[in-house]
């Protein structure tokens, strides 16, 4: 289940890239959040409704705004870079999260976290290396995706804190709800409205994959899988998301993987593995 979950997430970069060819980023995320909230209410209303009181307002705003920032930077960045590249740059959040936890919860990073951060930085450098010139070049999409990794690390840290005080499913629901409102506001203010092209079969299939597969089904499989697999092993399995993403992108999108990108991806993946293995100590 965890491996299927990683594959669903890995495929979401490619599918989102297809959907973004027709649906603007804010509208795509607003619809995805609305669909996820509706499905969660149908499946988990007994866990969600009792937690919806004024105590959860501040946590909802914090996790919702950081999740909105995460998905905004990633989705807009994905409009200008290839899916596999986006996945590996996003995966840097695993390396950054211990430092976010240090800032929020005063949990000091370990030496292995510092080593992983250096290796990850080297990996990003190789990804940014322009073949033939030896110069470093990160485009706007790359920078937005790296910003996504930073914001996501804080989002995960906040989720860890608030999930100990409230039902985790309720926290996830309010996160999606707050982010959905922000996405809808952004869509109404900055993007053109729906068109008939949004109803094309390929676009509808992409959207259904994103909110039913990559959001709802993946979350359920993750929760079930984590109940039967040790956390450290589960983290390593789910890290294969970026490998699935670059594989799907190379096969179905035609993403070219140069030597510098391959080295960079390998270094970033090694840093991610170091970070999740480091949690076992």
105-150: pLDDT as tens digits: 777 888 888 888 888 888 888 887 766 555 567 789 999 999 999 9
Residue 162 has pLDDT above 80, yes or no: yes
Average per-residue pLDDT for the chain: 86
**Percent of the residues in the chain that have a pLDDT greater than 70, as a whole number:** 92
**Mean pLDDT throughout 9-19?**
90
Residue 11 has pLDDT above 80, yes or no: yes
The dihedral of CA 255, 261, 139, 115: what is its sign? positive
**Mean pLDDT throughout 84-99?**
86
Q: Would you place residue 2 in the very low, low, confident or very high pLDDT band (cuts 50, 70, 90)? A: confident
Question: Which residues, in sequence order, are CB contacts of 207 under 8 Å at separation 6+?
Answer: 19, 23, 28, 31, 32, 35
Q: What is the pTM of this model?
A: 0.85
**Mean pLDDT throughout 195-209?**
91
pLDDT at 57: 93
Residue 174 has pLDDT above 60, yes or no: yes
Tokens for 33?
């959040």
Tokens for 34?
């609305």
pLDDT at 64: 94
pLDDT at 111: 85
Residue 181 has pLDDT above 90, yes or no: yes
**Looking up tokens 């140069």, which residue turns up?**
258
Burial 68-78 (b: 16+ CB within 10 A, else e): bbbbbbbbbbb
The Cα 277–Cα 281 span in angstroms is 8
Q: Would you place residue 279 in the very low, low, confident or very high pLDDT band (cuts 50, 70, 90)? A: low
Tokens for 203?
């676009």
H/E segment holding residue 263: helix 259-278
pLDDT at 254: 84
Residue 263 has pLDDT above 80, yes or no: yes
Residue 231 has pLDDT above 60, yes or no: no
**Mean pLDDT throughout 197-217?**
88
**Mean pLDDT throughout 224-242?**
71
Residue 232 has pLDDT above 60, yes or no: no
> Which residue from 149, 142, 147, 151 is spatially nearest to 64, judged by alpha carbons?
151
Residue 250 has pLDDT above 90, yes or no: no
Number of domain units in the chain:
1
More confident: 35 or 238:
35
Q: Which domain holds residue 8?
A: 2-278
């Amino acid at each position: 289940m965890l491996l299927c979950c990683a594959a669903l997430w890995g495929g979401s970069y490619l599918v989102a890239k297809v959907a973004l060819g027709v649906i603007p980023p804010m509208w795509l995320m607003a619809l995805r959040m609305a669909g996820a909230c509706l499905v969660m209410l149908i499946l988990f209303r007994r866990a969600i409704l009792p937690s919806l009181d004024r105590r959860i307002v501040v946590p909802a705003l914090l996790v919702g705004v950081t999740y909105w920032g995460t998905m905004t930077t990633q989705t807009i960045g994905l409009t200008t870079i290839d899916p596999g590249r986006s996945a590996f740059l996003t995966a840097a959040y695993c390396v950054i999260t211990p430092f976010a936890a240090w800032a929020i919860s005063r949990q000091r990073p370990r030496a292995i976290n510092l080593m992983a951060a250096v290796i990850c930085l080297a990996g990003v450098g190789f990804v940014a290396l322009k073949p033939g010139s030896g110069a470093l070049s990160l485009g706007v999409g790359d920078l937005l995706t790296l910003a996504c990794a930073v914001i996501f690390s804080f989002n995960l840290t906040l989720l860890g804190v608030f999930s100990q005080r409230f039902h985790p499913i309720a926290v996830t629901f309010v996160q999606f709800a707050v982010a959905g409102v922000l996405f809808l506001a952004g869509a109404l203010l900055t993007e053109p409205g729906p068109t008939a092209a949004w109803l094309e079969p390929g676009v509808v299939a992409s959207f259904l994959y994103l909110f039913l597969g990559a959001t709802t089904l993946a979350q359920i499989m993750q929760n079930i899988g984590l109940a039967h697999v040790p956390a450290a092993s589960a983290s390593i399995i789910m890290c294969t998301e970026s490998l699935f993403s670059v594989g799907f992108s190379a096969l179905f999108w035609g993403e070219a993987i140069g030597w510098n990108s391959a080295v960079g991806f390998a270094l970033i993946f090694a840093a991610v593995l170091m970070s999740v293995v480091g949690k076992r100590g």
